[in-house]
Chains A and B, each alone.
Chain A
Amino acid sequence: GAVVSQHPSRVICKSGTSVKIECRSLDFQATTMFWYRQFPKQSLMLMATSNEGSKATYEQGVEKDKFLINHASLTLSTLTVTSAHPEDSSFYICSASGGLYGYTFGSGTRLTVV
C-alpha cells in the first residue's frame, strides 16, 4: 500500500530557531501534498496545499513567511517553521495524494519549542 514517511517524529528546539519537517511518499508519486496542524484533542486543521514544482497555497490565517513549504519533487515536500516560538508547538501532519488509496497520511511530527 501507499506509504508516507514523515521525519522527524519528535523535535525540540529553542525559541528563535528554525525547524524543517520532511514528508516523503515512498512508493508512489505525490503530485499534491497537504500540511496539517493539530492541537491536543482537536481535529486536523489544513495549513497549506503544495503542488510539485509550484508555490504552496496557504489557508487563511496561516503565515506563509513563517511556515515555508517546498515541494521540489514528486516524492518530497518540506515544511520549515521559521523563527519558532512556543506558540508554534504542535503536532504537524502531512498527507500525500496519489497511490492506490487516494490520500495517505504521514505519522506526524511533535514539535516543542522551548
Chain B
Amino acid sequence: GQQLNQSPQSMFIQEGEDVSMNCTSSSIFNTWLWYKQDPGEGPVLLIALYKAGELTSNGRLTAQFGITRKDSFLNISASIPSDVGIYFCAGQLGNQFYFGTGTSLTVIP
C-alpha cells in the first residue's frame, strides 16, 4: 500500500529541546493523524486533524494540517525522556489509512 514520506527518520535530542517532524504525500487526504508507538505496543493516537489549515494542540504537542492537504507537521515542545518512541503520521482517505515511514525519537536526559 501507499506510504507517506516522513522526516526525519530519526532524531537524537537533549531533554528540553523542541522537536519538529513532518509528513508529505502526493495524494490529498481528508484527515491527518499523528500516533506514537512505544516498543512492543500498538500506536496510540496523539492528535487528529480534520480540516486544511487546522492547527491543534495536545499539551506540549502541536500539529497542523497543511493547506494543500498533502502534508502535516508535528511539533513537540520542551521534550522529556518519556517522549521517546516512534512517531507515525497517517493520512486517511475514505476508509483507508496510509502511514508514514516513522520518526524515531531519542531524548537524552
Is A41 within 8 A of B104, CB to CB? yes
Residue interface mask B23-48, A partner, CB < 8 A = 1: 00000000101010000111111001
Residues from 31 to 50 in A contacting B, C-beta threshold 8 Å: 32, 34, 41-46, 49
8 Å CB contact of A106 from B42, B98, B100: B42
Residues from 1 to 50 in A contacting B, C-beta threshold 8 Å: 4, 6, 9, 32, 34, 41-46, 49
Give chain B's interface secondary structure class.
strand
Number of chain A residues whose Cβ lies closer than 8 Å to a Cβ of chain B: 27
Given known A59-B1, A102-B48, contact A43–B99 (CB-CB < 8 A): yes
Q: Which of B42, B43, B88 has the most CB of A within 10 A?
A: B42
Given known A105-B44, A106-B42, A110-B40, contact A44–B88 (CB-CB < 8 A): yes
| B102 interface residue (CB < 8 Å to A) | yes
Q: With A and B bound together, what is the CA distance between A106 and B45 in angstroms? A: 12
Is B102 within 8 A of A108, CB to CB? no
- Distance (Å) between the CB of B90 and the closest chain A CB? 8
Is A42 within 8 A of B41, CB to CB? no
Q: Which of B6, B43, B99, B102 has the most CB of A within 10 A?
A: B43
Given known A41-B104, A59-B1, A102-B48, contact A46–B42 (CB-CB < 8 A): no
| A78 interface residue (CB < 8 Å to B) | no
- Distance (Å) between the CB of B99 and the closest chain A CB? 5
| A–B Cβ pairs within 8 angstroms, 5 of them | A46-B97, A103-B45, A103-B97, A107-B42, A108-B42
Taking beta carbons and an 8 Å cutoff, which residues of A are in contact with B? 4, 6, 9, 32, 34, 41-46, 49, 59-60, 91, 93, 95, 97, 101-108, 110
Taking beta carbons and an 8 Å cutoff, which residues of B are in contact with A? 1, 3, 6, 31, 33, 35, 40-45, 48, 86, 88, 92, 95-102, 104
